[in-house]
């Protein structure tokens, strides 16, 4: 696993209210991907705002809600360079003492994703999204 955080996702109760707040703080919302989510390029990382219920559903496995000790408020994301790497990183996390919350699976947006909880219950999404390219240095970029 390369040392980086690709995306910080904040669970929000009111997406448009949260977008207005972050835009008022000077951030510019990505205009290419806007349906049900808001992305903001922040240097080499992305800040995502996603409705709390959508994040909970995404973390759930086989239409079950996430475990009670994994209530989503924030999910860190590690984006991979390939689809195969998603499963590899999840295995490394499990071997290190983490817990697989959602195994690697095809995501509704077309890539691969899975979730693990670290030893403190903090959630990490491991994803390969071909629309969010990674530079050689690991910096992630929103599509233009």
Measuring CA to CA, how many Å separate 140 from each of 7, 10, 53, 116, 143?
8, 17, 26, 21, 10
Neighbours of 7 (CB within 10 A): 21
Helices assigned H by DSSP within 25-133? 52-59, 83-95
CA distance 41 to 140: 9
pLDDT score at 31: 93
pLDDT score at 104: 97
pLDDT mean over 28-51 = 92
Residue 91: pLDDT over 90: yes
Neighbours of 112 (CB within 10 A): 20
pLDDT score at 21: 85
24 against 103, higher pLDDT: 103
Residue 64: pLDDT over 70: no
pLDDT score at 42: 85
pLDDT mean over 23-33 = 90
Mean pLDDT of the chain: 87
pLDDT score at 24: 87
What is the tally of helices (H) and strands (E) in the chain?
Answer: 3, 7
Using 50, 70 and 90 to split pLDDT, how confident is the model at 69?
low
Name the one residue in this structure whose structure tokens are 């999840």.
90
The percentage of the chain sitting over the pLDDT mark of 90, rounded to a whole number, equals 43
Q: Tens digit of pLDDT for each residue in 4-19?
A: 889 999 888 889 999 9
Neighbours of 10 (CB within 10 A): 17
Residue 113: pLDDT over 70: yes
Residues whose CB falls within 8 Å of the CB of residue 61, separated by 6 or more in sequence, listed in order: 101, 102, 103
């Amino acid at each position: 696993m390369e040392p980086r955080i690709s995306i910080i996702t904040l669970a929000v109760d009111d997406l448009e209210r949260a977008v207005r707040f972050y835009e008022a703080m000077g951030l510019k919302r990505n205009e290419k991907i806007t349906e049900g989510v808001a992305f903001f390029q922040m240097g080499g990382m992305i800040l995502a705002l996603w409705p709390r219920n959508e994040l909970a559903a995404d973390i759930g496995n086989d239409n079950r809600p996430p475990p009670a000790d994994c209530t989503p408020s924030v999910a860190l994301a590690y984006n991979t360079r390939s689809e195969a790497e998603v499963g590899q990183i999840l295995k490394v996390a499990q071997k290190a003492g983490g817990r697989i919350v959602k195994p690697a699976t095809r995501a509704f947006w077309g890539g691969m994703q899975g979730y693990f909880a670290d030893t403190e219950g903090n959630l990490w999404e491991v994803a390969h999204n071909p629309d969010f390219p990674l530079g050689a240095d690991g910096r992630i970029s929103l599509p233009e």
